[in-house]
Amino acid sequence: MKSFKRVVVTGLGALTPIGNTVPEYWEGLKNGVSGCDYITRFDAEKFRTRFACELKNFDITKFLHVKEARKMDPFTQYAIVASDEAIVDSGLDLETINKNKVGVIWGSGIGGLKTFEDEVLYFGSGDGTPKFNPFFIPKMIADSASGNISIRHGFRGPNYATVSACSSANNAIIDAFNYIRLGRINVCVTGGSEAAVTIASVGGFTSMHAMSSRNDDPKTASRPYDKDRDGFVVGEGAGALILEEYDHAIARGAKIYCELIGGGFSSDAHHITAPHPEGYGALLSMLDALDDAGIQPEEVDYINTHGTSTGLGDPQELKAIIDCFGEHSYKMNISSTKSMTGHLLGGAGAVEAVASILAMQHSLVPPTINHFTNDPEIDNNLNLTLNVAQPREINVALSNGFGFGGHNATVIFKKI
């Protein structure tokens, strides 16, 4: 029987509401910076929610020519920026590497929503004559990011998008992991991006009462585990990882951040938007990841939770953690970095994987900020790393991603 190959992380990229590069992102994480403020993308004055976690001081023309950028939706632009950073960070020699053995697997929950929105609004404002940009479809479709990354660098391995709502990036990372450990490819650019600070997105989510409406205090609107949380805050950006077969990385003298040792999947099979009330799907996903990794629950030091700041989601995930880890639940650090970045939807799993890896590298757990009042529905004996980062040696980190439709995906990283 063919044995699995080992898979390591050799490059990281991040474009987030609290930092436009990996070093900036880490500074924001360790210092507990809130990326939330009033929306500037459009006039949100009449919206129930008027704030979001937007990118700050980001200019795509610093990375792409204007003509090139116009052919891409923002979610693809973000993917290009983060993946370029990760590729440079990995030290891959793009002149000599076998590009037939390099894949691109990228997640996005929605894809080119801004493009779709703009084109339909433009058409709707006219006399009914169909006038659409010839780049409308190529910009909008969810596989545009993976396709553009592949074209940009000539990577000819497997190339596709994963779409599973807010677990999309974790799905992409696990798929990339499996291609490499099965020996099908040597390297994969993976991660996820989202550009959902748009009229349709904010309008749609607020109509569901899924988003916070704390318009008087947006900086503290994303408050996972707090008694007064009132919904998630939408964010935007991208996270990227370079996954590489261990021997391939060693042979070229690559810097190795950590090893990816397991990935787990499950479905809630319960409701199109609400999580399973007992957290059963989340439990199954974590158990599957632990089994895949071949480790015991007691070996996990840190969990970067899905932790969206919603009334239903937060308690169910923590219940699942207690059911999965038992008494060890109280010995781990747990935190939600969405308290700082907001919820990047299909890109969330990627930026949170990067956060988990950086926490491991720096032996520092990023905090869950904006916690003011304990929630009696939550076991507050858990170490939720409230408000301030905590030093900790992290050998194994687990990161959860859950999505509308009941999709659950968990990844586990281990220090080498």
343 is catalytic: yes
Per the structure block, which two tokens stand in for 188?
């994969």
From 153, 248, 276, 306, the catalytic residue: 306
306 is catalytic: yes
Per the structure block, which two tokens stand in for 358?
């950086």
- Is the model's pLDDT at 285 over the cut of 90? yes
Give the pLDDT band (50/70/90) at residue 114. Answer: very high
Residue 150 has, within 13 A of its CA and on its CB side, a CA count of 21
Give 23-50 pLDDT, tens digit per residue.
999 999 999 999 999 999 999 999 999 9
Cα separation, 41 vs 212, in Å, equals: 18
- Residue-range domains of the chain with CATH: 7-251 (3.40.47.10), 262-414 (3.40.47.10)
Q: b/e string for 212-245 if b means 16 or more Cβ within 10 A?
A: bebeeebebbbbbbbeebebbbbbbbbbbbbbbb
- Parallel/antiparallel/unpaired status of strands 159-162 and 102-107: parallel
Residues 6+ apart with CB under 8 A from 288: 264, 265, 266, 410
Please give the pLDDT value at position 2: 61
Cα separation, 29 vs 17, in Å, equals: 11
- Is the model's pLDDT at 309 over the cut of 60? yes
From 248, 343, 371, 407, the catalytic residue: 343
Give 238-281 pLDDT, tens digit per residue.
999 999 999 999 999 999 999 999 999 999 999 998 999 899 99
Cα separation, 107 vs 145, in Å, equals: 9
Please give the pLDDT value at position 388: 98
Q: What is the CA radius of gyration of the chain?
A: 20
Please give the pLDDT value at position 122: 87
Checking 62-71 for CB contacts under 8 A at 24+ apart, the result is 70/135, 71/135, 71/138, 71/139
CB atoms inside a 10 Å sphere around CB 294: 9
Give 149-198 pLDDT, tens digit per residue.
999 999 999 999 999 999 999 999 999 999 999 999 999 999 999 999 99
From 166, 188, 258, 324, the catalytic residue: 166
